[in-house]
Amino acid sequence: MSVGAITPASLETRIKAQAFGLGFDLVGICALGPADTADAFDDWLSRGYAGAMAYLPRGRDKRRDSRLPVPGAISAIVVAMNYGGREPSGPVARYARGDDYHDVMLERLKTLHGWLDNEVGEPVAGKPYVDTGPLLERDLARRAGLGWFGKNTNLINPTLGSFFFLGVLLVGIDLAADAPFEADRCGSCTRCLEACPTDALVDPRVLDATRCISYLTIELKDAIPPALRRPIGDLIYGCDICQDVCPWNERFARPRPDPSPYATRAALGGKDARTLARELLAMSDAEFRELFARSPMKRAKLRGLKRNAAVVLGNVGTNEDISVLEAALADREPLVREHADWALRQLRDR
């Protein structure tokens, strides 16, 4: 090689540079194959910890082997995107305050896929996934070197904490894999297990989703078990408690960038739990569609959010909220009426 000659960057290096340029904060590469956590996942399902999330056992076989979801795929490009862990806690989990991360990240992963086609010079078989396909994303992320499984079950990165989304682009080209993240840096810390209000973390790295506040306020479509309503406190959608108390987040969580698609929307900005709960209980379907367009909070639907709002008012409401809850007794949804009645009884008992 002549003096001053520049060695062309590898395809893997160029992929990572492109991913960072698209706004991703972490990127790693791994080979596809049998999932390291397949047996643990099957055991988790057998214990009933998935609750009503019937889509999880349906994709069991594909989750066991990441080569199966996309025929011909042999490598995974795994990315992470910070959504901000420095904003104040509140009645809505931080990840859900802005635009839907599924849409944001899928669009960027599709752009990365298109760039890869051009870079290789021909179409590359592949498909992006963001929390919706039959993949164990944490498994791939650890194998791609992005972090370890914390005792709160979240993937933790030593420079970013855990307030980030994961996305995966499966591709049909053989890419050099990064070293997997082998270390467990939780040590003897058990803050997350001790802080969970519903004791959903039954063991380190084992979550009983049926007790998790995120599951209860989002995934569960029926009535919230009465014994778990009080521990929900003032949380209307999701929960950040097990991340908030993590020392890695206390030290390394970052603010979300500005501008960011995850910036808090006006319908939520600066509102305490009581104010937001009252507004949700009085909200019409048309108002909900307008105010929460492109929001991940649509997953719970308005009936679910009103259910949650009633529980919150039962927990932290005052006599001023009685009239709001009495009006909710006339809601067309039996689910809302049931939880409003429970909330009224809590207020009157106090």
Which residues are marked as active site?
131
For residues 141 and 168, what is the distance between their CA atoms, to the nearest angstrom?
A: 9
Q: Is the dihedral of CA 41, 45, 47, 49 positive or negative?
A: positive
Tokens matching residue 235: 């949380």
Question: H helices within 121-210, ranges in order?
Answer: 137-143, 191-195
- Tokens 């992005």 — which residue? 146
Structural contact between residues 217 and 73, judged by C-beta atoms closer than 8 angstroms: no
- For residues 124 and 110, what is the distance between their CA atoms, to the nearest angstrom? 12
Helix (H, G, I), strand (E, B) or coil at 78: strand
- Whether the Cβ atoms of residue 250 and residue 89 lie closer than 8 Å to each other: no
Contact 15, 77 (CB under 8 A): yes
